[in-house]
Amino acid sequence: MKARGAVIHEVNGKWQVQDLEVGEPGENEVLVKVMASGLCHSDDHFVTGDLDVPLPMVGGHEGAGIVEKVGSKVTRVKPGDHVATLFIPACGTCRYCAKGQSYICNNGAGMETGRAMDGTYRFHDSDGTPVGGVTRLGTFSNYLVCHETQTVPLPEDIPFDVACLVSCGVATGYGAAVNGGVKAGDVVLVMGLGGVGANAVQGARHAGADHVIVVDPVDYKQERAADFGATASFASVGEARPLIDQLTNGQGVDVAIITVGRVDGDIIGEAFATVGKAGTCVLVSVGSSELSIAVSPQDLTNFAKSIQGVMYGNCSPVGDIPRLLEMYRRGSIKLDELVTRRYGLDEINQAVEDMHAGRNIRGVVVHEH
């Protein structure tokens, strides 16, 4: 069937909005009418080449929509269901899913190729050239076909432009704090207040942190930090340091969560130096694959510090996404406040520019059909 989507054709290129042909769903696959897609910074790493993926590729992995059609063996969802897309499958039966670690589901292997699990493509352009979909999704297209294990049913009263954010940024940020080791009474540093960082702040407060300090160079982000529960905000770690010293008797924070747009070894080193003894550095952000973390091995051992990577907030999204949405319904987690601006698909490059300029906590593309 025909679809319209935003495609990246070359490293450092612009998103090109174009017609696409979407294939029929296979026996375990689902055709989703995508209603809304968040602009998650992770997509930008395909554009810059930090994440080396085959191009062309339909962007977007933070989606919500309606199931249009299902393959003969699909059991998780049915036509008409509202769904969130999962950028990592949650098969439920691999070794990791079985242990409650769906964030590292074995069926995520090969997702960077943008091809379906059987190795074939679900998108083609109008002259028949195969086009990948980011993380086997491609939510910048108004229709997509994905494996049923990359969907989770949603309650119908949740607006799509809110629900889409839960499928990546909210689960990732909230989980980074709650599953990353924040405990009651902690002093927590969150580095970078975007769609993920804002939720790390909310998660840290829910986990019982006494102080959550946000560091972000953009004035607007510093102003918004308190909306999500931050107790203080600064432009840099250096500016935050006197308060951190005052709150921790000079020891350093208990947990530092890195949610900047693009991470490098120096940022990890700065976070590591800011956590105190037995403290944890939680790394959420994506960067290049270079081997360079500026960390003292002696400090790591002598002060019993940890560096903890988290993927998908170390959540099991089939359980955690509905739970987060119940919390939103009860008013205990803020989601509407995350959406700074909505865009039409044709405005996608403006949306990306606004993201880079720090004008948005989260921008959302609202699809037409």
Where on the chain is the footprint of Zn ion (CB under 5 A)?
40, 42, 91, 94, 97, 105, 168
CA torsion sign, 244 to 249 to 251 to 256? Answer: negative
CB of 195 vs Zn ion, minimal distance in Å: 8
Nearer Cβ to Zn ion (95/277): 95
Residue 235: closest CA among 220, 215, 259, 253: 215
Nearer Cβ to Zn ion (7/97): 97
SS3 179: coil
- Give dist(CA 181, CA 63) in Å, integer: 28
Residue 120: closest CA among 133, 138, 107: 133
Structure token digits, residue 41: 């910074």
CB of 328 vs Zn ion, minimal distance in Å: 18
Nearer Cβ to Zn ion (203/276): 203
C-alpha to C-alpha distances, 253 to 19, 93, 243, 313, nearest whole angstrom:
50, 38, 10, 20
Nearer Cβ to Zn ion (43/270): 43
CB of 1 vs Zn ion, minimal distance in Å: 26
CB of 225 vs Zn ion, minimal distance in Å: 20
Nearer Cβ to Zn ion (89/252): 89
- Give dist(CA 124, CA 126) in Å, integer: 7
CB of 338 vs Zn ion, minimal distance in Å: 13
- Give dist(CA 195, CA 170) in Å, integer: 7
